[in-house]
Amino acid sequence: MLEIRGLTAEIDGKPILNGIDLVVPTGEVHAIMGPNGSGKSTLSYVLAGRDGYQVTGGEVRLDGVDLLALAPEERASAGLFLAFQYPVELPGVGNANFLRTALNATRRARGESELDAVQFLKLARAALRDLAMADDMLKRNVNVGFSGGEKKRNEVLQMAILKPKFAILDETDSGLDIDALKIVANGVNALRRPEFSALVITHYQRLLDYIVPDRVHVLAGGRILRSGGPELARALEESGYAGLGLEALGESVS
Amino acid sequence: MSARIEPRDPIEAATEGNYKWGFETAIEMEIAPKGLSEDTIRLISAKKDEPEWLLAWRLKAFAAWRETCEPEWAKIKHPPIDYQDLHYYAAPKRKPGPKSLAEVDPELLATYEKLGIPLRERAILAGVEGAEEATPVAIDAVFDSVSVATTFRETLAKAGVIFCPISEAVREHPELVRRYLGSVVPAGDNFFAALNSAVFTDGSFVFVPKGVRCPMELSTYFRINARNTGQFERTLIIAEEGAYVSYLEGCTAPQRDENQLHAAVVELVALDDATIKYSTVQNWYPGDAEGRGGIYNFVTKRGACRGARSKISWTQVETGSAITWKYPSCILQGEESVGEFYSVALTNHHQQADTGTKMIHLGANTKSTIISKGISAGRSNNTYRGLVRMMPRAHGARNFTQCDSLLIGDRCGAHTIPYIESRNPSARVEHEATTSKIADDQLFYCRSRGLSQEDAVNLIVNGFCKDVLKELPMEFAVEAQKLLAVSLEGSVG
């Protein structure tokens, strides 16, 4: 279970998150929607522990563990995963090598045994099969020369292999055509199970047709302004943020 | 001579990084008095039972050395070196010429074991991840000024390959040594080469006869141990028509506060259709985090592609030494001959590296490739300096150069100084260069996947060097990766 209470954060002294309260029970998928500048990406970076984002108050717990006290790599070992909006290229670093290094680092941190190359390959191939992805994904360098869709699929592949307890998908749908969107959504859905939960951050309702959330939250001005079921996302799509009377706050931070 | 162990400041020890090869071997040594003169050279020559022609050659080199000055064009700084304050000969005391490994001082064998270089004749470096089966590697071990052991000589002899200390080659194969010594790097070539020619004490000699593919990797492991002693080794490799040999050298030294001079010369000769692959993993003591101590590494390496379709390929991973001054070069004389230079130079703390290559295209349709990866961290300075020269007869010659620099932190320097001279309009020269920093978003991306900051830097640096590391024999590529990781310790955070 992820619990966020009274979370405030700023960048260069400028407040971006102004008191977020959010609970995602284990096994559920929640969506966060909001206009540009509402603090969606900041929330995902703060949860993952990126430098340059100062937390000024509140707390974040994953299954009781105080995430804010941990370094980014420790949060990963604790079971947190961030699928990046803009996945980063690592020239010369093979995807398989990267993933095995990452998997073994988190396994080591949890006191589990490391996987050798053969064991890893078996696991990775199974994940590729589940996601209907080609084997050459492992041979290529991390995100180098990948199309937008391939980068996002690679994020989902990493997630499938690292098997986090809690995943944040930061605008994973941005820049995807409808076919790529379906592949990515199927990949996420394949991971849904009682011990997995996720926060899907998106600009559009579209993704939520494929990854149907248990709850939808509307973020604006660095606060959760409204929460509801999947129907809230559809209402937003039809009437826009303004239609829901959220315009003023949405604009105040943009 | 005895090893002194002094208590060290624990903080200093902790911040120094881990130079794991910095121990000293307590062993009885025979050391010539300090100073360089004709007498010193006569002493060295006498110690080695050398023929008159070699002594004359040394004396000529010494005369040339006295006429020249230390080169000043490199981007390096160091206090003046007092050449009279050095020992020019140091050798472990022993009975003359051990005939077999059984006769080698156990203390020496233990030293090489500790360095991970077992001098027993068995497949070494077994169990390396990814290696299907360990291939045996023949090793020549040079301790201070002399070769202490050469393994697998019989197996090699059966194939017709000569692999022995150069001092022994002078005695056993004088005609070969006389024909080729100084034929690529003349005795008076440059200040440091002249010094080496005058006082070189040992090194490896390799001769691969016509049509023979050397059945195993050859390797020389250099170790500086004695204090205030210069190390001047000389390596000569000859591949006759159609021959192939792959050779690797490794180097380490004890951790000391004073600087130590190392000035080697390597000469390669490739005849028609011959290939020589020469790999270096240079890990001389780099000095401490404050820049105290470390080896001054002034090395002249040059290969002559004399024959048509011959090929010389240099691969170097340079992580050690306080100063590295080194330009492994190819003279592409034979038609369609090929020269390659693959280099990773990593500098951290106060290290200075000025390294690169020279590709001299003389013959028609000669081809050269230069891939240089410089990584600078700490307060270090890393310079690529390279020359590509297309001579008038080099019709259709081609060069491709790629120089990439990676900066870690904001107090280090990376410099790229390419010289291109083309005197043939049909020759083609391409040069690409990039300079980048390890980006924060790359580090964060890796860390968000569970990698520590150090692991992330290592992964990114190894990726950056991949094009070069893949040129190393597999076992050594793994070693080189570990070495890069160790050398980067303390460079971030």
Judged on CB neighbours under 10 Å (0-12, 13-18, 19+), B450 is buried
| Out of A20-24, B56-60, B87-91, B157-161, least confident range | B87-91
Region B310-315 average pLDDT = 97
Q: Give the 3-state secondary structure of residue B353.
A: strand
CB–CB of B448 and A76 under 8 A? yes
At B297 the pLDDT is 93
B455–chain A nearest CA distance, Å: 9
Q: What is the mean pLDDT of residues A70-95?
A: 95
Alpha-carbon gap, residue B313 to B94, rounded angstroms: 37
Contact A90 B446 (CB under 8 A): yes
Confidence at residue B361, expressed as pLDDT on a 0 to 100 scale? 98
Contact B450 A158 (CB under 8 A): no
In Å, how far is B482's CA from the nearest CA of chain A?
Answer: 14
Q: What pLDDT does B117 receive? A: 63
The first and second tokens of residue B374, run together, are 């410089």
CA torsion B301-B229-B62-B306 (nearest 10°) is -20
Please check whether residue B348 is in contact with residue B312, taking contact to mean a CB–CB distance below 8 angstroms.
no
pLDDT of amino acid B120: 57
Listed in sequence order, the residues at least 6 apart from A119 whose beta carbon sits closer than 8 Å to its beta carbon are none
pLDDT over threshold 60, residue B471: yes
Q: Does the beta-carbon distance from A76 to B449 stay under 8 Å? A: yes
Cβ-Cβ contacts under 8 Å for B45 (sequence gap 6 or more): B54, B55, B58
The confidence score (pLDDT) of residue B129 equals: 33
**Are B102 and B320 spatial neighbours (Cβ–Cβ below 8 Å)?**
no
Question: Among A137-151, A189-203, B281-295, which is the least confidently predicted range?
Answer: B281-295
Nearest CB to B450; choose among A50, A77, A84: A77
What local confidence, expressed as pLDDT, does residue A85 receive? Answer: 93
Split at pLDDT 50, 70, 90, the class of B131 is very low
pLDDT at position B428 is 96
pLDDT (0 to 100) of residue B108: 66
Candidate from A38-42, A132-136, B487-491 with smallest mean pLDDT: B487-491
Architecture of the A2-249 domain: 3-Layer(aba) Sandwich (3.40)
Q: Which residues of A touch B (CB under 8 A)?
A: 48-51, 71-73, 75-77, 81-82, 84, 87-93, 97-98, 101-103, 105-106, 109, 116-117, 141, 158, 162
Q: Looking at the partner chain, which of A76, A89, A92 has a beta carbon nearest the beta carbon of B450? A: A76
From the list B130, B447, B460, the residue facing A73 with the nearest CB is B447
Q: Which of A154-168, B118-132, B385-399 has the lowest mean pLDDT?
A: B118-132
Contacts of A72 in chain B (CB under 8 A): 444, 447-448
Nearest to A106 among B445, B450, B462 (CB): B450
What is the C-alpha R_g of chain B? 22
CB contact under 8 A, A105 and B450: yes
**Looking at B334-473, which runs of residues are DSSP E strands?**
338-347, 352-361, 367-376, 381-390, 398-407, 413-422, 428-437
* Minimal-distance CA residue of chain A relative to B445: A88
Predicted local distance difference test score (pLDDT) of residue B112: 66
Among the listed ranges B308-312, B315-319, B436-440, which one has the minimum average pLDDT value? Answer: B436-440
Interface probe for A, chosen from B434, B438, B447 (most Cβ of A below 10 Å), is B447
Overall average pLDDT of the B348-354 stretch: 92
**The predicted structure's pLDDT at residue A63:** 96
ipTM of the complex, rounded to two decimals = 0.94
**Range from A81-90, B100-109, B118-127, B361-370 carrying the lowest mean pLDDT:** B118-127
Q: How confident is the model at residue B139 (pLDDT cuts 50, 70, 90)?
A: confident
Rounded average pLDDT over B130-147: 61
Q: Name the residue with higher pLDDT: A237 or A114.
A: A114
- Residues A192, B85: Cα–Cα separation, whole Å: 73
Give the CA-trace dihedral at B243, B123, B22, B15, to 10 degrees: 100
Residue B259: strand pairing partners: B294
Task: Tell me if B447 and A77 make a contact (CB, 8 A cut-off).
Answer: no
* B50 in Cβ contact with B170 (< 8 Å): yes
Cβ separation B460–A93 shorter than 8 A = yes
CB of B157 closer than 8 Å to CB of B237: no
Q: How many CA atoms lie within 13 A of B125 on its CB side?
A: 23
Q: Is the dihedral of CA A11, A12, A16, A19 positive or negative?
A: positive
The pLDDT value recorded for residue B135 is: 55
**Minimal C-alpha gap between B415 and chain A (Å):** 21
**Mean pLDDT throughout B13-19?**
49
Contact A105 B466 (CB under 8 A): no
pLDDT of residue A122: 94
Of A73, A75, A82, the CB nearest to B452: A73
Q: Is the pLDDT of residue B86 over 70?
A: yes
Tokens of B339: 């020269």
The answer to whether the CB atoms of A84 and B445 lie below 8 A apart is yes
Q: What CA–CA distance (Å, rounded) separates A13 from B318?
A: 44
In the predicted model, is pLDDT for residue A214 greater than 50? yes
Q: Are A166 and A198 in contact (CB under 8 A)?
A: yes
pLDDT of residue B14: 35
Residues 6+ apart with CB under 8 A from A68: A49, A55, A59, A60
- For residues B128 and A101, the model is more confident at A101
A86 DSSP 8-state letter: S
Note whether A92 contacts B451, CB cutoff 8 Å. no
Do the beta carbons of residue B135 and residue B166 sit within 8 Å?
Answer: no
Which of A169-183, B233-247, B415-429 has the least mean pLDDT? A169-183
Q: For residue B470, give the chain A residue with the closest CA.
A: A92
Residues of B at the A interface, defined by Cβ within 8 angstroms:
129-130, 439-442, 444-453, 455, 459-460, 462-467
Kindly identify which residue of chain A lies nearest to residue B450, measuring between CA atoms: A73
DSSP state letters, B378-415: TT-EEEEEEEEEE-TT-TT-EEEEEEEEEE-SSS-EEE
**Contact B377/B454 with Cβ under 8 angstroms?**
no
CA distance B374 to chain A (A): 15
> Tell me, what amino acid is at B398?
R
User: Which residue in B448, B454, B468 has the most chain A C-beta atoms within 10 A of its own C-beta, making it the best mutation to test that interface?
Assistant: B448
Instruction: State how far residue B301 is from chain A, nearest Cα, in angstroms.
Output: 29
Round to whole Å and give the CA distance between A109 and A77: 6
In chain A, residues with a C-beta closer than 8 Å to the C-beta of B451 are: 73, 101-102, 105
Distance from CA of A73 to the nearest CA of B (A): 4
- Average of per-residue pLDDT across B195-224: 91
Would you call B417 exposed, middle or buried from its count of C-beta atoms within 10 A (0-12, 13-18, 19+)? Answer: middle
**CB < 8 Å to A102, chain B:** 446, 449-451
pLDDT value for B36: 92
Cβ atoms A134, A127 nearer than 8 A? no
**Among the partner residues B439, B452, B460, nearest to A105 by beta-carbon distance:** B452
Nearest CA in chain A to B129: A117
Asked if B425 and B395 touch (Cβ cutoff 8 Å), the reply is: no
- pTM attached to this predicted model: 0.84
- Rounded percentage of chain B residues whose pLDDT exceeds 90: 57
Of A81, A88, A92, Cβ closest to residue B445? A88
Contacts of B455 in chain A (CB under 8 A): 101, 105
